[in-house]
A and B are shown apart, each in its own frame.
Chain A
Amino acid sequence: MFKKWTVLLLTLCLVLVAAGCGSKNENEENNGGAAEAGAKVTVNFMHLWPEGVSAGQNKIVNQIINEYQKEHTNVTIKQEVLDNEQYKNKLKVLSASNQLPDVGVTWAAGFLQPYVDGKLFAPVDDLLGGELKDKFVAGTTEAYNIGGSTYALPLEFNIAPVYYNKAIFEKYNLKAPTTYAEFQNVVKTLVDNGVAPIALGNKDRWTGSLWYMYLAERFAGQETVAKAIKGEESFKNADLTKAATEVQKLVDDKAFVKGFNGLSNEEAKSEFLNGNAAMYLMGTWELPNFTTNEDIPKEFRDSVGFFKFPAVDGGKGNANSWVGGPGVGLFVSENSKVKDEAKKFVEYFVSKWGEQSVTGAGVIPATKVDTSKLQLPQLYIDLFNEMNQASSITLFADVQMKANAAETHLNMIQALFGKAATPEKFADEHDAAIKKGS
């Protein structure tokens, strides 16, 4: 009897190996004939919009792929879907073995850099000159430009307003603040009345970075912030130090929810959604939760407003300058065997994505959309208008910096908020990390 088991197991192993060899041949058939025009071509596309949770995006992706396959009968688009975290890990492992998918999702600037340095992403400048010329919102493709070439085409464009709960504000007779002094007063009034002013999930760290970046911009002005991040200006700059000090002052004033350094953004968001916290600084990707998401009580959705991060008295920044930036973009692998097909698909995808993504998934696309023709919730229209009036956009710090410096920045943000680092140490560590490069 036991012999039978052993034989069975050995057979199983053999079958497995055989199966492995069998499907290998299939793959080769698919990729082999790419060069011949009209031959069957498979384009591998890796993205992070699973059907379960990003139903809107997923549906649009499938629609676009279906249409594309109908128009190009020789092309098959093969999708692989992963969640955000797993996606980033896999991208890393694949690139170490030079096995990137033909088309994939990437982030801007700092995230992009190593892939460009390693010559893994193909420049897509030719696409910008073609059908997509002048279709992008100003400032979006620039974030994907490294050394004069553009390496990915952006799909989203986000800015971060401060959302607030109008019902809570009304109850305590508060108005959306237009100056920083008013903002401080709002915080004070709410604290005095036992309401948590701001929902912040700083376990994720980039969330706290938004607060610091706004304060830095408002105190020091957009140029100084940009220079400091490039390493052309020290973080010890008096205005930047003021921003870091102000962060700690807000912590002292109990402006943020209890235990914020141990809460995830998800948990913090729920504090805002259930009316426990009055304000929430977050990207425009949250808009569906405040407008169309049926899971959230209508009463709450109707009471969400937003204000611009107020200007600071005597500061060098202004309220029309936003922290934000393009979200994800599409890259084409430099070593793809079907590079031309992949590029054509990316061009097609980006041109179709724009309008559909606003109405279908509540995404604010990086391509220009004529909003007047679309039926959109008021909050979207207001934010679109704000975007058009924006004086400048400061890219999310962790996106802007190189990976190594970004990690230091994020760690120091948590330390600053947790009062484990002084503003001086915060500045020193930043300068050191940025100087070191990646």
Chain B
Amino acid sequence: MDKVMSNKKMIALYVLPSLLLILAVVYIPIVLTGYYGLNEWNGIGSMKFVGLDNYQRLLKDSVFWDSAKHSLLLAVFSLISLIVYLAIAMVLAAKLRGANLFRKIYLIPMLLSSVAIAQLWLKIYHPTSGIMNTLLESLGVDNPPAWLAEPSLVLFALFIPILWQYAGFYILIYYAALKNIPTSLEEAAKIDGATSIQIAYKIKLPLVMEVLKVTVVLAVVGSLKYFDLIYVMTNGGPNGASEVMASYMYRTAFKSYDFGYGSAIGFALLIICLVATWVIRKLTETKDTIQYS
């Protein structure tokens, strides 16, 4: 077994094409971003090497730290919502009548592009004619807030569509993982008199553990570099109340023409993601993994 499975030629054949592609298309930009970050550059003229100046500026830049805080907050909310997605996936994967149809319907919103989702939620949050406020007014709420204009509310108002946008993605992965569990296991447990809660907790959860760990990393990294809806719906405003790291990076590089500093922000974002991933890996490390058998 070992001899076949450590055939160097096969490993190279399987891994190298993808690895080379990644190195060329992703790593060269990563290295260059790191390099630009050490320069003062407006993206047009010549670069001026300034060493770690941009990073020193970053450490003192309250806008950056606020945006980092917002991104981290989004990561926390994404993690919490993973539990909800898992629960939904469990229900959908159960032998319910119509589960198949429900699953398809539940995943439809994830097909929509960010442009469409942003427009939909702008209509929901519109301060005077939006669905949300019309509803609140009909319930007797006097002068409901302008969701996207209120610095204290805007971030949470944005989290809802973001989490909703990604719900399909995670439900889909969990669903596939749950469906991958051989039905024989569940049936055997039922014969032994296990309740469905026990089955979910004792059998299904451990078996999808590896998938769960992966989605935790995906949710955190995805949240930390999140950009789309925030940029379209509030542009990071008002007054930076909904600025996240990626939108701040974009604004600095492409609007303020400060490509050097923008690159430093981009690189810092990468490092924060890296640290977060490392922490998650450490926290979720287990000695052996459980397989279906």
On whether A and B touch (CB less than 8 Å), the answer reads yes
Footprint of B on A, CB under 8 Å?
A: 88-89, 92, 95-96, 114-115, 117-120, 202-205, 257-264, 267, 271, 276, 403-404, 406-407, 411, 414-415, 418, 420-421, 438
Complexed CA–CA distance, A92 and B256 (Å)? 11
Q: Which residues of B contact A271 (CB under 8 A)?
A: 128
Distance in angstroms between the alpha carbons of A262 and B151 in the assembled complex: 10
Report the separation of the CA atoms of residues A114 and B239 in the bound assembly, to the nearest whole angstrom. Answer: 26
The stretch of B39-47, B48-56, B175-183 that contacts the partner chain: B39-47
Closest to B45 in A: A118
Q: Does B122 contact A (CB under 8 A)?
A: yes
Instruction: Pick 22 A–B contacts, CB within 8 A, sort by A.
Output: A89-B254, A92-B257, A95-B44, A96-B44, A117-B44, A118-B46, A203-B234, A203-B237, A259-B146, A259-B147, A260-B149, A262-B127, A262-B147, A262-B237, A403-B257, A404-B256, A411-B240, A418-B151, A418-B239, A420-B239, A421-B239, A438-B42
Give Cα A117 to B255, complex, Å: 17
Report which B residues bind A (CB closer than 8 A).
42-46, 122, 125-128, 146-151, 154, 234-235, 237-240, 251, 254-259
A115 to B42, CA, bound (A): 10
**Nearest CB of chain A from residue B88's CB, rounded to whole Å:** 31
- Chain B nearest CB from A198 CB (Å) reads 14
A-B contact count (CB 8 A): 103
Q: Which residues of A contact B258 (CB under 8 A)?
A: 403-404
- How far does the Cβ of A96 sit from chain B's closest Cβ, in whole Å? 5
Contact partner, A120, options B44, B122, B257, Cβ 8 Å? B44
Q: Do A118 and B256 contact each other (CB < 8 Å), given the known contacts A414-B238, A420-B238? A: no
Cα distance, A415 to B42, chains bound together (Å): 26
Residue in A92, A414, A438 whose CB lies within 8 Å of B239: A414
Which one of A120, A263, A438 has the greatest number of beta carbons of chain B within 10 Å? A263
Residue numbers in B under 8 Å from A202 (CB-CB): 238
What separation, in Å, do the CA atoms of A414 and B236 have in the docked complex? 11
* Max chain B C-beta neighbours (<10 A), residue from A120, A259, A421: A259
Q: Are A263 and B127 in contact (CB under 8 A)?
A: yes
Within the complex, which residue of B126, B148, B240, B257 is in contact with A438, where a contact is CB–CB below 8 Å?
B257
Q: How far is the CA of A203 from the CA of B257 in the complex (A)?
A: 20
Knowing that A89-B254, A420-B239 touch, tell me 19 more A-B residue pairs with CB under 8 angstroms. A114-B45, A115-B44, A203-B235, A203-B237, A258-B146, A259-B128, A259-B149, A261-B239, A262-B149, A262-B234, A262-B238, A263-B126, A264-B122, A403-B42, A404-B257, A404-B258, A411-B239, A415-B239, A438-B42
A57 CB, nearest partner CB in chain B, Å: 23
Most chain A CB neighbours (cut-off 10 Å) among B43, B125, B234, B238: B238
Is the Cβ of A114 less than 8 Å from the Cβ of B127? no
Q: Which residue of B lies closest to A402 (CB)?
A: B257
Question: Is the Cβ of A262 less than 8 Å from the Cβ of B256?
Answer: no
Q: Which residue of A lies closest to B261 (CB)?
A: A404
Q: Which residues of A contact B148 (CB under 8 A)?
A: 203, 259, 262-263
Q: Please, which residues of chain A bring their CB within 8 A of the CB of B127?
A: 257-259, 262-263
- Give bound CA distance, A407 to B237, whole Å: 13
Residues of chain A within 8 A (CB-CB) of B150 are 259, 262
Q: Is the CB of B128 within 8 A of A114?
A: no
A92 and B234 form a contact (CB under 8 A)? no
Q: Which residues of A contact B122 (CB under 8 A)?
A: 264, 267
Residues of B within 8 A of A403 (CB): 42, 255-258
A403 to B255 alpha-carbon distance, docked (Å): 7
- The 10 A-B residue pairs whose C-beta atoms are closest, nearest first, are A259-B146, A259-B127, A262-B148, A262-B149, A118-B44, A118-B45, A403-B257, A261-B238, A259-B149, A261-B149
